[in-house]
Amino acid sequence: MPLYGNIPVSGAKNAALKLMCAALLSDRSIYFENAPNALRDIQSQTDLMQFLGCAIKREGSLMAINASNVENTVAPYDLVRKMRTSILVLGPLLARFGHAKVSLPGGCAIGTRPVDLHIKGLEEMGATITLEEGYINAQAPAEGLQGAKILFPKVSVGATENLMMAATLAKGETVLANAAREPEIIDLGECLIKMGAKISGLGTETIRIEGVSSPLGKAHHEILPDRIEAGTYIIAAGMTGGTVRLENARIEHLSAALGHLSQAGIEVEQDGRDIIVHRDPSRRIKGCDIMTEPYPGFPTDLQAQFMSMLTIAQGAGLVTETIFENRFMHVPELCRMGADITVQGNSAIVRGVEKLKGAEVMATDLRASVALVLAGLVAEGDTIVNRIYHLERGYENIVGKLSNAGAQIERIGGE
C-alpha cells in the first residue's frame, strides 16, 4: 500500500550517543535538544553514564547531563556489552581523570569490529594500555595526555571521535590525519567547541585539536537529524510508492544515495527543513548498483535497506559492502520472503522479483531488522519480524511513524 503523509525524523542516534560521552569532559551541565530519548541505545548509554556518576535528565526530546560528580571510571561488561559505542567513554574518562577501565564492547554482530585504532591512538598520546580479563585498562602519564600526530591507517568513525574528545584536554596540539568526515562527527566537534574545546578541520580529513586546561564548560546543543532514519523512510516510500514529507531532515547528508535513488525512480527534494519523497506507485523501482564507503560515500548503515528495495526492482543490482565484512545477514531472511540474491564475497547480486511473500523472519542487527520491516511493507500477506529488540535500539516509534503514513504495521508481543 502506498505511503502518504508526514513522518518526523528524530535526532541522530549516532551523534547523540557520542555527545553524551562528550559531557564527561565537562564539570558543568550540557543541554541537548532533539535527543532521540526513546531509543534503547540512549537508555543503555544513560545507564552506563549514571553508573559512572553522571546526573541525567530526559524529557521529551530534551536531555541534560552533568558529569561534575563522576568518581567511577570503570565501565563494566554488563553495561557495555549491549552497545559497542560504550567504548567512546574511554577517551573522555582518560583525558579528564587520568585513568579508565572499559570492558571490550559488544554491539551489532556485523563483523569482528576491533578497537585497535582507539587504543593505538591513545597510546600515541602517552597512555599506557593493557588488556586484562576482557577489559581495556588505560592510564595517562602523571602530567596528562599529550598532543600527538595520529595517522589512521583506516577511516574509523569511532576512533576519530574517541581521540578527538581525548585531545580536547591533552597538552598541546593533536592532529588526526585520515580522519572520518561523517556529519555526526562535525556535530560532536561543534558541541565540543561550544563547551570550550579548540578544534579545526571538522568535516575534512585532517582535524586539529589544541588541548585546553581541564575540564570543559557548559553548552546548549541541538542534535542534528538522523540521516539514516531519513534514508530508511525515503526507501520505505520508494518501495511502496506514494508521497511522504520527512519533517526535519537534511538532504545534503544523503548526497551519495541521491543519484542511486533517482536511478531507481524515486524523487527526493528538500523543502525548507523537510524532505519530500515521491514515487509513482504505478511504476516499478529500477535496479542499480551501490558500494558502501566512508562518508561522503554511500553509507553502510543504509545498505540493508537499499538491498531490500532492490529485491522488488525491475532488473538486477549489485551491492558491494566495503566497510564491514559480515554485513549480509539480512540476505537469507530476505530470501525466505522470495528475494533472489546471490552473495559472492563482499558483493551481492540482487535480481528483482515481482512480489515478495510475507514470512516469519528474524533480524540479528539493527539495520538488517529495518530492512525486513521494509520488505514486509511490500510483501504479499503478513510478515512477522522477530527480535525487534534491535529495531528499537535505533528507530524511535517506527510503528507509529509508519502507520501514520498509512502502513499496516503493528507491534505484537513482548514488552
Q: Which residues are known catalytic residues? A: 108
Q: Which stretch in 154-162, 166-174, 265-273, 344-352 sits in contact with ligand UD1 by CB under 6 A?
A: 154-162
Q: In the bound complex, which residue of the shown chain has the CB atom lying closest to ligand UD1?
A: 158
- Which phi-psi region, left, alpha or beta, contains residue 173 (left: φ > 0; alpha: ψ -120 to 50)? beta
- Which phi-psi region, left, alpha or beta, contains residue 63 (left: φ > 0; alpha: ψ -120 to 50)? beta
String marking each residue 1-30 x if it binds ligand UD1 according to CB under 6 A = -------------x--x-------------
Judged by CB under 6 A, which of 94, 288, 319, 323 binds ligand UD1? 323
Judged by CB under 6 A, which of 32, 97, 233, 324 binds ligand UD1? 324
DSSP bridge partners of 150: 176
Nearer to ligand UD1, 157 or 288 (CB): 157
For 376, the grid coordinates are: 514486509
Q: How far is the CB of 222 from ligand UD1 (least distance, A)?
A: 18
Closest CA to 147 of 208, 81, 232, 194: 208
Q: Which of residues 294-313 bind ligand UD1 (CB under 6 A)?
A: 300-301
Say whether residue 158 binds ligand UD1 (CB under 6 A).
yes
**Distance (Å, whole) CA 373 – CA 325:** 23
CB atoms within 10 A of CB 346: 17
Q: How far is the CB of 322 from ligand UD1 (least distance, A)?
A: 9
Q: How far is the CB of 333 from ligand UD1 (least distance, A)?
A: 19
Residue bearing cell 580536547: 168
Judge whether 280 and 258 are in contact, CB under 8 Å.
Answer: no
Nearer to ligand UD1, 22 or 115 (CB): 115
The number of residues that bind ligand UD1 (CB under 6 A) is 21
String marking each residue 108-147 x if it binds ligand UD1 according to CB under 6 A = ---x-xxxxxx-----------------------------
Judged by CB under 6 A, which of 33, 141, 151, 154 binds ligand UD1? 154
CB atoms within 10 A of CB 247: 15
Nearer to ligand UD1, 108 or 350 (CB): 108
**Distance (Å, whole) CA 327 – CA 111:** 7
Say whether residue 85 binds ligand UD1 (CB under 6 A).
yes
Nearer to ligand UD1, 312 or 319 (CB): 319
Q: According to the 3-state scheme, what is the secondary structure of 147-194?
A: CCEEECCCCCHHHHHHHHHHHCCCECEEEEECCCCCHHHHHHHHHHHH
> Per-residue b/e over 23-33, b at no fewer than 16 CB within 10 Å?
bbbbbbbbbbe
Say whether residue 157 binds ligand UD1 (CB under 6 A).
yes
Environment class of 133 (CB within 10 Å of its CB; exposed 0-12, middle 13-18, buried 19+): exposed
Judged by CB under 6 A, which of 10, 156, 174, 369 binds ligand UD1? 156
Residues that bind ligand UD1 in the complex, under the rule CB under 6 A: 14, 17, 84-85, 111, 113-118, 154, 156-159, 180, 300-301, 323-324
